[in-house]
Amino acid sequence: MTPSLTRPVALVTGASAGLGLALAHGLAERGWTLIIDARGADALKTAADALAAKTDVVPLAGDVTDPEHRADLAAAVGELGRLDLLVNNASYLGPSPLQPLAAADLTELRRVYEVDVIAPIALTQVLLPELADAAGLVVNISSDAAVEAYESWGGYGSAKAALDHATRVLAAEHPELGVYAVDPGDLRTAMHQAAFPGEDISDRPEPATVVPAFLRLLDNRPASGRYRAADFATAVTP
């Protein structure tokens, strides 16, 4: 690992695939030093090997709901000496196919809340000193299910709604930070496929297509709040 006191540092969770990996590549191409995590060690190594051709990258396999793993991530930030951006991307949809709330498996529902609400809050807590020192940014990946009442999306949608509100509160409590909940829109990811098992989702855009919108958000640093990637559509128009 190469300590980086001058280059910006980002921590991206759930970065072995999908939107997290696409965002990591977008940041790497801009020279950001990266700390990335995911539960699957093999997939994370593959991602890190590809990113290492572009920038310094620290891969740490683990589960964001595990306090020891979060401590390891914080230690990596401490070794690099700064943190400019935290992307809480790691998410859990719940069982596939999705379940109506009246029949929801409560153990699975607790896991959805642990991954999608508690873990992002907990990770932000341990990294607040470094984020504050850098007047940094927190990006919590949201969903339109946080604001729309789709049948069978009650667990995931209500968890993302809770994360949205936690984002607003964190922004009010830490005006020195830029704190965002961002709905990326429907994307061609494994999670989206799990939400629609057996269906053809090839019409959904690839995750990389929304990366320019996220980078534009980082560049513009608008007021803290909830945004859609589509709000930055000028960045994704060819």
pLDDT digits (tens, 9 = 90+) for 13-72: 999 999 999 999 999 999 999 999 999 999 999 999 999 999 999 999 999 999 999 999
pLDDT digits (tens, 9 = 90+) for 59-108: 999 999 999 999 999 999 999 999 999 999 999 999 999 999 999 999 99
Ordered by where they begin, the domains of the chain are 9-232 (3.40.50.720)
Backbone angles phi and psi of 38, in degrees to 5: -170, 160
CB neighbour list of residue 76: distance below 8 Å, 6 or more residues apart: 1, 11, 35, 58, 60
Task: Flag whether pLDDT at 133 surpasses 80.
Answer: yes
Q: Report which residue type is found at 236.
A: V
Active site residues: 156
Structure token pair of residue 231:
């709000």
Instruction: Indicate the pLDDT class of residue 237, thresholds 50, 70 and 90.
Output: very low
pLDDT at 233: 73
Q: How do strand 85-88 and strand 137-141 relate by DSSP bridges?
A: parallel
Structure token pair of residue 127:
């990294």
Q: CB burial class (10 A; 0-12, 13-18, 19+) of residue 118? A: middle
Instruction: Indicate the pLDDT class of residue 6, thresholds 50, 70 and 90.
Output: confident
Task: Flag whether pLDDT at 238 surpasses 50.
Answer: no
